[in-house]
Amino acid sequence: MQAAVERLARWRRSVGEFARDNFAFSPDPWQLDVFEAWDRGDQRIAMQACKGPGKTALLAVLVWHFLATRPYPKVACTSISGPNLSDGLWAEMAKWQTKSPFLLQAFEWQKTRVIARDHPETWWASARTWSQSASPEKQADTLAGLHADFILFVLDETGAMPDAVMVAAEAALSTGVECRIVQAGNPTECSGPLWRAANQDRHLWTVFEITGDPDNPKRSSRIDIGWARSQIQSYGRDNPWVMANVLGKFPPSSPLAFIGAGLVEAAAQREASSIITDALPLGIDVARFGDDESVICPRKGRDARTIPWQFLRGLDTMQLAARVVGVRNDLRADALFVDGGGIGGGVVDRLRQLRFDVHDIQFGAKADRPVMPGADAQRYGNKVAEMWGAMRDWLKVGAIPNDPVLHAQLTNRKYAYVTREGLDVIMLEPKKEMKARGLSSPDRADALALTFAYPVMPTRHSGGVPGDNRRSAVVSDYDPFNS
């Protein structure tokens, strides 16, 4: 018994010893710095991190340390979304517990709670979620109402988290014997709890900046240095995505957009060009609401400018399908990619009834497109993110109309990394959240993205070149018998 008491006393003094004894945890240098601040008793700790340095694992270690070494503690854990919490921090908690016979014996891990087997009602950690569409008051309720002598709030992925979630946690710091907050996230937004801790409230927080910068001697060794160099080479150090995910720095101003303004501006100014053998797909985005527009976007190879786009309002599915048929026949398009979600399904059905070969694209479906040659092999969480990713790669060489509406739609859409099945994947901001920010539905941008749904083989008549519907690899004036 005396040995157990002494062991717990050592663990309480040193989270590093606790992690080593229970998990055989070998911390990186930056994790050692966090351990030192934790042992020192710093009340507010923030980790401003690049992508993938092991911050969620460290959060799990700190939660287990607090549970194991404080009497009757209460720990509240949250993240940017429910799936991200369950697949990220909460799954990490379960993984580390399996490495420790002591924690397996002392605690029971549940879907939304970890409880002490001897004191299940008064000694626990809970997983708490909040609705992104809720009012600030409702979001604050996520961490409100906790009272105990020993309280820990752990907030993961706070880079895009609203301030209201943090406010309730900060309100509890004035009570109890030991009340602490630990937050971590990618610096993707110039607002929110992480930005505030690293900037205007930095005097209140112990902030750790974790970088994957290949030229920084203090970089996280868990970030593949070749990957980091390739991202910097492809997009530049000033690119918002590189700043947040590679360098661990906040972008200079606006919220992190999936497509940068510079990329769009260059595509609008670039000379449009295509060759006769380039395929010509049509992307058809179907309007869902009264203020939305249906869009038919033709793209021939690198040229999405020369052939006029169609912007349509007030058409029912039969009328829109008829318009698509007319454009398809006039242009002799090689493929029809239709947004088949919602009322778009009626357009797909009508086109199939007319015996046209049409592809029903479900934006929320699983990403399944082969990576384009030379493109960055990113992981995407669904089909729409995958199409936008292919479109972003194409914008480096393609030409688009000088259309302010299209440009705004391309650059206004935000994105985030979420954890799905143990992998970090890219997800785009949902349309309803864009509308909540006062933005229109990205109908024109989605129509262009649809042309990248799948690779398309050209026919010999692509783009109006005379001929029939049979496939032909080469069109040539050469006559082998006239020589």
DSSP 158: G
The C-alpha angle 145, 40, 14, rounded to 5 degrees, equals 100
What is the amino acid identity at position 330? D
Q: What residue spans in the chain does CATH classification 3.40.50.300 cover?
A: 2-223
**How far apart, in whole angstroms, are the C-alpha atoms of residue 116 and residue 68?**
9
**How confident is the model at residue 463, as a pLDDT?**
62
How confident is the model at residue 334, as a pLDDT? 93
Q: What is the DSSP secondary structure assignment for residue 303, as one 8-state letter?
A: B
Helix (H) or strand (E) holding 125, with range, is strand 124-127
The reported pTM is 0.60
pLDDT in tens, 420-478: 777 778 889 888 888 776 778 899 999 999 999 999 988 766 665 444 443 333 333 43
Query: For residue 464, what pLDDT is reported?
Result: 55
Tell me which architecture the domain covering 261-450 has in CATH: 2-Layer Sandwich (3.30)
Cα(412)–Cα(268) distance, rounded to whole angstroms?
16
- In sequence order, which residues have a C-beta less than 8 Å from that of residue 303 and are 6 or more positions away? 272, 273, 274, 278, 398, 399
Q: What is the pLDDT of residue 420?
A: 75
- What b/e sequence results for 95-111 when a residue is b if at least 16 CB atoms lie within 10 Å of its CB, and e otherwise? ebbeebebbeeebeeee
Residues in contact with 324: Cβ distance below 8 Å, sequence separation at least 6, in sequence order: 282, 284, 296, 336, 338, 347, 351
Integer distance in angstroms from the first to the last C-alpha of the chain? Answer: 102
pLDDT, position 469:
41
60-94 in b/e form (b: 16+ CB < 10 A) is bbbbbbbbbbbeebbbbbbbbbbebbbbbbbebbe
Ranges of H-type helices in 189-335? 192-198, 225-235, 240-245, 261-269, 317-331
pLDDT tens sequence across 169-202: 888 887 789 999 999 999 877 778 998 899 889 9
Identify the H or E element spanning 96. Answer: helix 89-97
Residue-level pLDDT at 478: 37
pLDDT beneath 50: ranges in the chain: 374-376, 465-483
Which pLDDT score is estimated for 445?
Answer: 96
CATH 3.40.50.300, applies to 2-223: yes
Give span(s): CATH 3.30.420.240, the chain.
Answer: 261-450
**From CA 259, how far away is CA 24, in angstroms rounded?**
42
